[in-house]
A and B are shown apart, each in its own frame.
Chain A
Amino acid sequence: MDNREFLLRRLHSLLGIIPIGLFLTQHLIVNHFATQGVEAFNNASHFMANLPFVIFLEIFVIYLPIMYHAFYGVYIAFTSKNNPGHYSYLRNLLFVAQRYTGVFLVVFIAWHVFETRFQVAIGNAAEADFNMMANILDNPWMLAFYIVGVLTATFHLSNGLWSFLVTWGITQSEKAQRYSTYFTLLVFLVLSVIGIRALLAFV
Chain B
Amino acid sequence: MGEAAKTVIFEIERRDSTEKESYFEKFELPYRPNMNVISALMEIRRNPVNMEGKKTTPVNWDMNCLEEVCGACSMIINGKARQSCTALVDQLEQPIRLQPMKTFPVVRDLVVDRSRMFDSLKKVKAWVPIDGTHDLGEGPRMPERKRQWAYELSKCMTCGVCLEACPNVNDKSDFIGAAPLSQVRLMNAHPTGAMNRDERLNAIMGEGGLASCGNSQNCVESCPKGIPLTTSIAALNRETTVQMFRNFFGSDHAV
Contacts and interface: CB of A to CB of B under 8 A. Distances in A.
Interface residues of B, number: 37
Given A169-B239, A177-B230, A10 B244 contact: yes
A5 B165 contact: no
A163 interface: yes
Interface residues of A, number: 36
Interface stretch (A63-71, A77-85, A124-132): A77-85
A183 B168 CA distance: 26
Interface in A36-75: none
Nearest to A77: B214
Interface stretch (B8-16, B30-38, B43-51, B217-225): B217-225
Interface in B168-215: 168, 170, 172-173, 202, 205-212, 214-215
Given A95-B167, A166-B215, A6 B221 contact: no
Interface in B50-105: 79-80
**Most chain-A Cβ atoms within 10 A of its Cβ — which of B202, B215, B231, B236?**
B215
A7 B205 CA distance: 9
B214 A95 contact: yes
B237 interface: yes
Interface in A135-169: 162-163, 166-169
Contact of B80 (A8, A87, A173): A87
B235 to A, nearest CB: 5
Nearest to B103: A81
A95 B216 contact: yes
B68 to A, nearest CB: 20
Contact of B237 (A82, A86, A92, A169): A169
Interface string A72-107: 000010111111011101011001100000000000
Contacts, number: 110
B234 A166 contact: yes
Contacts of B239: 169
Nearest to A162: B215
Contacts of B202: 3
Contacts of A2: 205-207
A172 B167 contact: no
A40 to B, nearest CB: 40
Contact of A79 (B79, B173, B233): B173
Contact of B205 (A6, A166, A177): A6
A81 B217 contact: no
**Most chain-B Cβ atoms within 10 A of its Cβ — which of A2, A85, A87, A92?**
A87
A89 B218 contact: yes
Given A166-B234, A172-B231, A87 B211 contact: no
A168 B241 contact: yes
B155 interface: no
B211 to A, nearest CB: 4
Contacts of A177: 230, 234
Interface in A1-23: 2-10
Contacts of B210: 6
Contact of B172 (A81, A82, A167): A81
Interface of B: 79-80, 165, 167-168, 170, 172-173, 202, 205-212, 214-218, 221-222, 228, 230-231, 233-241, 244
Given A95-B167, A173-B231, 18 more contacts: A3-B202, A3-B206, A3-B209, A5-B207, A5-B212, A6-B244, A7-B244, A79-B168, A79-B170, A83-B167, A86-B79, A87-B80, A92-B218, A92-B221, A166-B233, A168-B237, A169-B238, A169-B239
